[in-house]
Amino acid sequence: MTDIKIMKNTVNSVNSSAITTAQPVKHHANSFKLGISLLSAICLWSGGTLTVVATANPAPPILTAQIPAGTKVIYVNLATGTDSESAGNSEQTPLRTITAALQRAEAGTVVQLANGSYTANTGEVFPIVIPRGVTLRGNPSTQGQTVAIIGGANYVSSTEANQSVTLLAEQDSVITGLTITNPNTRGTGLWIQSTNPRVTNNTFSKNKREGIYVTGNANPKIEGNVFINNDGQGISLVRNSQGEIRDNLFQNTGFGIAITDQASPLIAQNRILQNVDGIVVASNATPVLRNNIIEGNQRDGIVVISKAQPNLGTAETAGENRISNNGRYDIYNATSSNILLAYGNNIDPQRIRGRVEFTNTAPVASRFTDTQGHWANAYIEALANQGIIAGFNDNTFRPSEPVTRAQFAAIINKAFTPAPENPAINFVDVSSNFWGYQAIQTAARGGFISGYPGNKFLPNQRIPRVQALVSLASGLKLRSDDTSVLSVYQDRSLIPQYATTAVAGATAKQLVVNYPVATKLDPNREATRAEVAAFVYQALVNAGRAQPIASAYLVRNPQTTQR
The span from the CA of 392 to the CA of 145, in Å, is 58
E strand or H helix at 13, and its extent?
strand 10-14
pLDDT at 415 (0 to 100): 96
- Structural domain contains residue 151: yes
pLDDT at 503 (0 to 100): 97
Distances in whole angstroms, Cα of residue 129 to Cα of each of 84, 87, 117, 175, 242: 20, 20, 17, 11, 21
- Structural domain contains residue 422: no
- Structural domain contains residue 309: yes
Query: Do residues 297 and 194 both lie within one domain?
Result: yes
Domain span at residue 386 reads 377-403+462-542
Give the sign of the dihedral formed by CA 466, CA 472, CA 474, CA 477: negative
Query: Do residues 336 and 203 both lie within one domain?
Result: yes
Query: Do residues 133 and 201 both lie within one domain?
Result: yes
Low-confidence ranges of the chain (pLDDT < 50): 1-55, 559-563
Query: Do residues 334 and 393 both lie within one domain?
Result: no
Q: What contacts 35, CB < 8 A, 6 or more positions away?
A: 41, 43
- Structural domain contains residue 87: yes
Query: Do residues 537 and 490 both lie within one domain?
Result: yes
CB atoms within 10 A of CB 232: 25
Query: Do residues 80 and 38 both lie within one domain?
Result: no
CATH number of the domain bearing residue 174 = 2.160.20.10
Give the sign of the dihedral formed by CA 386, CA 387, CA 390, CA 395: positive
What's the number of domains the chain is made of?
3
Closest CA to 43 of 353, 282, 295, 338: 282
What's the chain's length in residues?
563
Query: Do residues 278 and 133 both lie within one domain?
Result: yes
Query: Do residues 220 and 325 both lie within one domain?
Result: yes
- Structural domain contains residue 101: yes
pLDDT at 56 (0 to 100): 62
Encode pLDDT of 385-394 as tens digits.
Answer: 999 999 999 9
Query: Do residues 44 and 85 both lie within one domain?
Result: no
| Cα first-last separation, the chain | 35
User: Is the separation of the CB atoms in 139 and 147 below 8 Å?
Assistant: yes
SS3 for 142-157 is HCCCCEEEECCEEEEE
Query: Do residues 17 and 160 both lie within one domain?
Result: no
Query: Do residues 10 and 112 both lie within one domain?
Result: no
The span from the CA of 182 to the CA of 211, in Å, is 8
- Structural domain contains residue 509: yes
pLDDT at 359 (0 to 100): 62
- Structural domain contains residue 408: no
pLDDT at 517 (0 to 100): 78
Query: Do residues 43 and 135 both lie within one domain?
Result: no
pLDDT at 344 (0 to 100): 84
The amino acid at residue 212 is I
- Please, where are the H alpha helices in 201-331? none
Q: Residue 435's Cα: distance from chain center in Å?
A: 43
Encode pLDDT of 420-430 as tens digits.
Answer: 999 988 899 99
pLDDT at 61 (0 to 100): 65
**Three-state SS for 421?**
coil
- Structural domain contains residue 107: yes
